[in-house]
Structure 1
Amino acid sequence: MAAAALRRQARGLPSRLARGILTRPAPPRPRGPLPRTPWTTRGPPPEELWRLSERPSPREQVELDVVTYAGRQHFVPGLARPRFPPWDRGWRDPWHSLGPRYEEMPLYKERGCFICHQRVKLLEGVRQAQWLTKTKLVEGLPPAVLSIVNDPAHQLEGFEERVKHAISHARFWDTTEAAPRREHYCPVLFEDLIHVCRLMSAKYPSLTKRMLARNYRIAATWERESILLQVRGLNGVLMNSMTPIPPVASKEEVLATEKHVLETFYPISPTIDLQEVNVYKELNHTGFRDGYPYSHPHTLFFLESANIRPNRFRPEQLRAKMLMFAFGNALAKAKVLYGNDPKVLEQPVVVQSVGTDGQLFQFMVFQLNTTDLVSNDGIKNLVWIDSDQNLYEKAQCIPEIKKRVVTKPAGIYGFQPDTFKKFLALYLHGTV
């Protein structure tokens, strides 16, 4: 049979045609849409809806009953989820009742307000905070503080050993763990450093007229180029004083800020990372009642003690947070003293700020010169920043041992006393 097939192919006659099985190729069948399933609870198919919409009087459709698993009292695949009417308790439970809509609240406003609170991390850091607060930046500490740092008469005798003991207490002694966490040793170090600074009250009795305030709430509202802004909520530990800090910059330096041009960061919005709300109250409050004897803000302390790295503020973000809350405290105090009308202050308000993570310190001095913050023209505020100052390079909690030989014993390495001198100078500023 194979030989016969070869002979027929050689003659040019296809084997299937020679037998009359196939005379011509079959035409392709037109492929139509797949058959649809019957109408379900979702309704008719789209082409049926389009056809019915053209009719002047659409035909009546029979509604199908939804089969749910309500009678089974448990989940059944293939059956619809039952929907029950809301349960009426007969009384209002604040933990299990829906609150009113934002539009129905009495403090609702059409205009949004941008809030800066303690967990806001500004994307552009200090530059963004400068634009929001209309502030000019000066690198380093002001001369009034540097004069205290460089004067030996204002230094504490034997402060290096005291500071080393404070570091050892926070990193080695006040714990049962081999290596304490940041959230533990950072507050302990701050308390010990403040205690060392309080020893200067024997030499300067006016240092006793101060008070540390924790968990107080600040609220300050201002407008910046048709943008309503607020600084409010909890912030760092505030040291209050009975007397204000005298102005740091002279009147000539304040007038010279009119020529300063604020830096922009277009196309990034200046309100990026701020929380926008529509339910708010335009409030200006220092966080203390009238008649509080320690009514003047002196220094803000920010302890960046988060042990988890994503929860920490980077140094640039921490400096921006320090600037925003120092400005908020100064603005709230200025509105108490001079009213809510925007103006250039006769006596500028000075607020200091210190930020630390238990090792790295940030120092800041802020001077509020004006409350007219709407436009970029006119007098600006001033801020002095001394950033990234290490108190010590490393605290070796566990000694390094190689081949049964201690190569690096436990202890403090790279101690820098100048950092504590700046810390002490900010503490003494306004008194010396």
Structure 2
Amino acid sequence: MRLSAVLRIQNEIYFRKRLWKNRKTLRKVHKFPTPQPLLDMGVEIHDALQVAANEFVPEPFDLPEPHGIPNEKRLDSRNPDWHDQEAYIVHKKSRLLEGDKHMCLLTKTVRYDGLPTALLEHVRSHTLGAAQQVAAKEALAQVHLYDCTQVKLPRKIDLTQPHMRFPREFGVPVYRKVASPLLLSVRSLSSLCPTLPPARSNVYMNGAERARLFLDDGNTVVFTSEVDTLTTSKVPLSAFNTPEDVKATADMAMPDLYPAKYTLDLDKGHIYRMDDIYPVPRVALNQHPHTLHVTHPYHYFWFPKEKMARAILACFTFAAARARQLYGADTLTLPEPVALQCTYSDAETFGFLAYQLNTLDLSTDEGIKNQVWVAGEPHKLFESCNHIEGMMGHNPAVFQHFLAFYTNGFSQLPSLQS
């Protein structure tokens, strides 16, 4: 590098700046007096530090609506649903330690393997014909093969190979895979059963309801559930069990979680509602709950027993809200049981169960209990499905159960041999 006057000046400037930054002894701050002309004019001089100390600081305040946060969305005592007593809240995202066993303990429910005898015979009588099988397979293909929605999906998780890091793929999001087949199946049922006048009176809606119940040790437990679709009918479903069998449940033991407590894995909070909500008013023509459809539109993994617990929660909450609407909030032993059906599904499986609410007395494990019948393990919709091989191993038993649940309670059955 050639030494030049320009290079010397640049190095000198850099050197002086570094000295000014590191050596405070080189800094010379002179005190300049106030100019005499300003003093002659009578200009008042103030110290800048004193002016800054006396600066006005406005008091904090909340912006009024619609610019501020409404009280309904606050997480403190200003929320109108705030209560001083803390409550345990069971909702659709509650992942319990023992799954369905834990949920049965919370709702005082005994579980039976297999559907009730009458309902099981009703399912067996609905052997699908060619038209029903084609419609069921087409409803699944519309979502898994023909849907043009393509988004970047989360990474696949294989429990047998936890060390593997699979690449992310493009495909149909899981919430579309779960909700769309359900709606397409309902449409297919409506078109395949045109000879059923009562079937046309069914209503499909999205609903959420809450039931407030007190447990034995004084804890308040709020049950809140949401379903993807609610099917209602003009007439209620008949009880799945006889009164003698209901009385026999008093001798059945409840699940035991010892040494864990039943409040394990339950969320606690001060914001909850004390009223019971059932989405259908009593003046509606179709007010009786018929079938609940609970979906699992999440990418992250849930165990099958946790999904079943969500279905049992939905059945108990809907039935309890309906019972309190009919018989009042203070009724513990129901004059007539409330029966309903439920399906729970994800992108690849479909499960079925039946529920009968007999009591709302959850203060003790003694006495009659509620009942739930589970149709074994969830049915697989197909063996495999991709754009190269298509849909392989379609399971017609899923649509057979779905059709049987849909037509349960109707005096006239459709012809299934077309």
TM-score (norm 1): 0.71
Report the counterpart of residue 145 of structure 1 in structure 2: 119
Distance 1:174 1:280, change over 3 A: closer
Distance 2:107 2:62 in 1: 51
Report the counterpart of residue 217 of structure 1 in structure 2: 208
Report the counterpart of residue 131 of structure 2 in structure 1: 158
Select 2:380's aligned residue among 386, 390, 393.
Answer: 390
Distance 1:162 1:98 in 2: 48
Q: Does 1:416 align with 2:395?
A: yes
Q: Does 1:304 align with 2:283?
A: no
What percent of counterpart residues are identical? 25
How far residue 206 of structure 1 moved from its aligned partner, in angstroms, is 0.9
Matched ranges for 1:127-206 at <5 A = 127-152=101-126, 155=128, 157-175=130-148, 177=150, 179-206=171-198
Select 2:96's aligned residue among 103, 106, 122.
Answer: 122
Q: Does 1:92 align with 2:81?
A: no
How far residue 102 of structure 1 moved from its aligned partner, in angstroms, is 4.2
How far residue 323 of structure 1 moved from its aligned partner, in angstroms, is 0.5
Q: Does 1:365 align with 2:357?
A: no
Q: Tell me whether 367-376 or 167-176 shows the greater mean CA deviation.
A: 167-176
**AA matched with 1:423:** F
Distance 1:101 1:135, change over 3 A: closer
Distance 1:332 1:182 in 2: 30
Asked if the contact 1:220/1:285 (under 8 Å) is kept, the reply is: yes
SS in 1 for 2:222: strand
Report the counterpart of residue 156 of structure 2 in structure 1: none
Higher radius of gyration, 1 or 2: 1
Distance 1:414 1:378, change over 3 A: same
Report the counterpart of residue 310 of structure 2 in structure 1: 321
SS in 1 for 2:330: coil
Report the counterpart of residue 277 of structure 1 in structure 2: 269
Distance 1:428 1:208 in 2: 11
Cα offsets for 1:354-393 (capped at 9, x unmatched): 1111320111111001122211000000001123211211
Cα offsets for 1:293-349 (capped at 9, x unmatched): 22111111122122x32xx53321111011011101100111111112243222110
Q: Does 1:236 align with 2:228?
A: yes
Distance 1:412 1:431, change over 3 A: same
Instruction: Flag structure 1 segments of 5+ consecutive residues without an equivalent.
Output: 1-67, 72-83, 400-409
Asked if the contact 2:225/2:317 (under 8 Å) is kept, the reply is: no
C-alpha RMSD over aligned residues = 2.8
Distance 1:233 1:369 in 2: 19
Distance 1:282 1:336 in 2: 14
Q: Tell me whether 101-110 or 253-262 shows the greater mean CA deviation.
A: 101-110
How far residue 91 of structure 1 moved from its aligned partner, in angstroms, is 5.3
Q: How many residues align?
A: 337
Query: After TM superposition, what 4+ stretches of structure 1 lie above 6 angstroms from structure 2?
Result: 97-101
How far residue 166 of structure 1 moved from its aligned partner, in angstroms, is 1.4
Asked if the contact 2:88/2:266 (under 8 Å) is kept, the reply is: yes
Distance 1:234 1:358 in 2: 18
Report the counterpart of residue 242 of structure 2 in structure 1: 250
How far residue 161 of structure 1 moved from its aligned partner, in angstroms, is 1.6
Distance 1:127 1:90, change over 3 A: closer
**AA matched with 2:125:** D
**AA matched with 2:215:** R
How far residue 232 of structure 1 moved from its aligned partner, in angstroms, is 2.4
How far residue 431 of structure 1 moved from its aligned partner, in angstroms, is 1.7
Distance 1:265 1:377, change over 3 A: same
Distance 1:141 1:90 in 2: 56
Asked if the contact 1:330/1:351 (under 8 Å) is kept, the reply is: yes
Asked if the contact 1:189/1:358 (under 8 Å) is kept, the reply is: no
Instruction: Flag structure 2 segments of 5+ consecutive residues without an equivalent.
Output: 1-48, 151-169, 412-418
TM-score (norm 2): 0.73
Distance 1:247 1:233, change over 3 A: closer
Select 1:425's aligned residue among 404, 408, 416.
Answer: 404
How far residue 288 of structure 1 moved from its aligned partner, in angstroms, is 3.0
Identify which of structures 1 and 2 has the higher relative contact order when contacts are C-alpha pairs closer than 8 Å and 6+ apart. 2
Report the counterpart of residue 219 of structure 2 in structure 1: 227
Distance 1:253 1:418 in 2: 29
How far residue 88 of structure 1 moved from its aligned partner, in angstroms, is 4.0
SS in 2 for 1:174: coil
